[in-house]
């Protein structure tokens, strides 16, 4: 009986650690696709006020990229992404949904086209 009582908290803790959070399950991909190496790409997405922008490097070499809010010409993030890794930036603006987000990706790395992006939000329009 003591072993059973001791296992219940451990099982409950493991379940909570493995279960996805409610906020992560509520996000949807509003816009996504490939990024070409050595090129600039501007994408538009109609979404909620807050968006998460994820860039993934599928290549075996590093990726240098700048993520810019094209409407206000404001840099959101600039840096390198290691091979097989991704980087996510959160961005929010004031306004009544749907909000038209314009994001510019400036990819400096020109050795590959094996990069992707995804713009996620709680609501996509």
Instruction: State pLDDT tens for residues 99-115.
Output: 999 999 999 999 889 99
What integer is the mean pLDDT of 55-68?
A: 96
Q: Phi and psi for 113 in degrees, rounded to 5?
A: -120, 25
In CATH terms, the superfamily for domain 28-121 is Galactose-binding domain-like (2.60.120.260)
The yes-or-no verdict on residue 38 having pLDDT over 50 is: yes
Q: What is the pTM of this model?
A: 0.78
Contact between 90 and 76 (Cβ < 8 Å): no
Q: Which pLDDT band holds residue 125 (cuts at 50, 70, 90)? A: very high
More confident residue, 26 or 2: 26
HSE-CB for 19 with a 13 A CA cutoff: 9
Residue 58 CB partners (closer than 8 Å, separation 6+): 84, 114, 115, 116
DSSP conformation letters of 7-62: HHHHHHHHHHHHSPPHHHHH-EEEEEEEE-TT-EEEEEEEE-SEEEEEEEE-SSS-
Question: How far is 121 from 62, CA to CA, in rounded Å?
Answer: 27
Q: Phi and psi for 114 in degrees, rounded to 5?
A: -95, 55
């Amino acid at each position: 009986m003591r072993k059973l009582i001791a296992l219940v908290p451990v099982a409950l803790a493991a379940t909570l650690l493995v279960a996805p959070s409610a906020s992560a399950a509520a996000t949807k991909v509003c816009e996504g696709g490939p990024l070409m190496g050595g090129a600039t790409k501007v994408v538009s997405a109609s979404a909620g006020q807050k968006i998460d922008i994820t860039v993934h490097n599928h290549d075996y070499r590093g990726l240098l990229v700048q993520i810019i809010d094209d409407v206000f010409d404001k840099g959101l993030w600039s840096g390198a992404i290691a091979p097989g890794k991704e980087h996510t930036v959160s961005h929010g603006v004031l306004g009544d949904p749907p909000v038209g987000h314009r994001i510019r990706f400036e990819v400096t790395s020109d050795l590959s086209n094996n990069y992707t992006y995804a713009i996620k939000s709680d609501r996509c329009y």
